Amino acid sequence: MESKRQQKFAGVIQQDLAAIFQREGMNFLPNTLITITKVRTTPDLAIARVFLSFFNTANAEQALQTIKLHASEIRYKLGRQIKDQVRVIPQLEFFVDDTSDYVNRMDKIFDKIHKDENEQ
């Protein structure tokens, strides 16, 4: 369970990273929309785990690797924005948010169950 402090800090990071990806995301991944679905921070606020969703890309894992290559540059830009609000700029760890894939998979299962019930 995250503390209020962690949640507030994660919200600040999410907003500022979203602004960075909106302004400069095309430099990292042309023709790809990058959204930040959630941010989780460690209790000491030293690490921020950022969950990303990619739209208009064929391979999300390859897109994630590209973002990871630019992680230090992204952290630097984040640091310039939040330096007056925090003591330490957190290390950024990026992950693919597979929630939409999970939802699609569950929808297919429920559709199949519903179809099987109607056939009986």
Tokens standing for residue 67 = 């973002």
- State how far the Cα of 116 lies from the Cα of 120, in Å rounded to an integer: 7
pLDDT (0 to 100) of residue 77:
95
Please report, in tens digits, the pLDDT of each residue of the chain (120 residues total): 889 999 999 999 999 999 999 998 888 888 888 999 999 999 999 999 999 998 888 888 899 999 999 999 999 999 999 988 888 899 999 999 877 777 778 888 888 888 777 776
- Please report the pLDDT score of residue 52 as a whole number: 94
Domains along the chain? 4-119 (3.30.300.20)
pLDDT at 6: 92
- Angle, helices 71-82/60-69, rounded to nearest 10 degrees: 60
- Please report the pLDDT score of residue 79 as a whole number: 94
Distances 50 to 58, 92, 110 between C-alpha atoms, Å: 21, 7, 30
- Residue 21 DSSP SS3: helix
What is the pLDDT, as a whole number, of residue 120?
Answer: 66
Q: How many CA atoms lie within 13 A of 38 on its CB side?
A: 8
Own/partner long-range contacts of 1-7 (Cβ < 8 Å, ≥24 apart): 2/40, 2/41, 3/43, 5/45, 6/40, 6/41, 6/42, 6/43, 6/45
